[in-house]
Structure 1
Amino acid sequence: MMVSFDHFSKDQLIAHKAEVNLTGKMENGKIQGSAYMGCNQMSFISEFKKGGNVKISKGVSTMKACQDMALESAFQSKFDSMTKYSIEGHFLTLSDDKGNSMKFVAADWD
């Protein structure tokens, strides 16, 4: 579950059921992941490397038009530019070189 991103409140993230799922198929150290920000289903490939580096390959998305796509648009514009990751307890934080970050908590913790 996403708990922190950009100017969106935690309540907004919860209302949109914002999540990234990293439990997909793993092959050659790359994880097939998915994301949902309240409208479209998205999929991508991520590779978590030593030293806290991550590479996220631009994925594909369904193309539904929804009433409120602000969160999804912001997420899509920044997600594949995330280059660093850190794990603290049940939290995963992704960040880029411009000061943007996204924080997630395991679905069974909040």
Structure 2
Amino acid sequence: MRFRNIVVLMMAVLALASCSALKKNSGKPDSDNASATIIGKKWQLIEIGGKAVSGQVNGRVPFLKLEEKSYSANGGCNGIGGELTFSTNGKIKFAQGMSTMMACPDMSIEQALSKALITADNYSLSNGILSLNKTKMAPLAKFKLMEEKQNLSGTWELDYISGPRIAFEGLYPNRKPTITFNIQDGKINGNSSCNNYNATFKTNDHQISFGPIMSTKMACEGNGEATFFSTLEKINTYDINENTLTFIMGDIAMMRFQRK
């Protein structure tokens, strides 16, 4: 009888432990391990402030990309980026970061996305939809996973460069710089707006580095060529969105090219 009572007691303890475990795991969305699921992928913005977002804004696909400690985004105009912190229970914090300073016809989506990122304090992932939320209120923004085609091959033409005080058109009044990637040989060549040049390059995921740049020696007017070469040497990351190639230094978008 004594042994039977001990067995019954042990079974009761195990049952209570199982119920406790079930309670701990019940009611949680499939975003418990979402940080590993959502990192390193590009998410297309499909809803902001409860309103649907079109597939393209100013000719670009609005998106958000999350890394372990940083993020990058585009609301259809400027590149946005900054530090990112993940915490337990789906908590997330976007720090105000750097942005390019272009003006576009429709800035409303970009402004709304920037505000949503800074406001959000948690995220959830359900049925393939990533939501950024503030406490338990309605989602601030929703995203769907988009396939990235990170294909550097081909020729790209510069249409934005960060840093110089001279306007882009003044820096390159006659010819825009180009860059052509030969993926198989690991080489680039192009024109700086004045001289032809070539160099080697290496990539690792989204990281990129360039070898010494060699160019022809024709005399050039202005600072366009020098600005192009000096900026290219600082680049350590790249991103491709549709037909737009962005070169990044840290979390700052430094150069932008369009596929030719």
TM range (shorter): 0.7 to 0.9
Alignment partner, residue 74 of structure 2: 36
SS of equivalent residue, structure 1 residue 63: coil
Larger Rg: 2
TM-score (norm. length: structure 1): 0.79
1:3 pairs with one of 46, 58, 62: 46
Over aligned residue pairs, what C-alpha RMSD do you find? 1.8
Alignment partner, residue 15 of structure 2: none
Dislocated runs of 4+, deviation >6 Å: none
Letter in 2 for 1:74: A
Alignment partner, residue 134 of structure 2: 96
Alignment partner, residue 15 of structure 1: 56
1:7, distance to aligned residue in structure 2 (A): 5.0
Structure with greater strand percent: 1
Q: Which runs of 5+ in 1 are unaligned?
A: none
Q: Which runs of 5+ in 2 are unaligned?
A: 1-43, 148-260
Between the aligned residues of both structures, percent identity stands at 26
1:90, distance to aligned residue in structure 2 (A): 2.4
SS of equivalent residue, structure 1 residue 2: strand
Aligned length, in residue pairs: 100
Alignment partner, residue 110 of structure 2: 72
Structure with greater helix percent: 2
TM-score (norm. length: structure 2): 0.36
Letter in 1 for 2:141: M
CA distance in 2: counterparts of 1:101 and 1:76, whole angstroms: 11
Assess, with a 3 A threshold, how the Cα gap between structure 1 residues 88 and 100 changes in structure 2: closer, same or farther.
Answer: closer
- CA offset digits 1:36-80 (Å, max 9, x no partner): 111101112222221111111111100001111111111122311
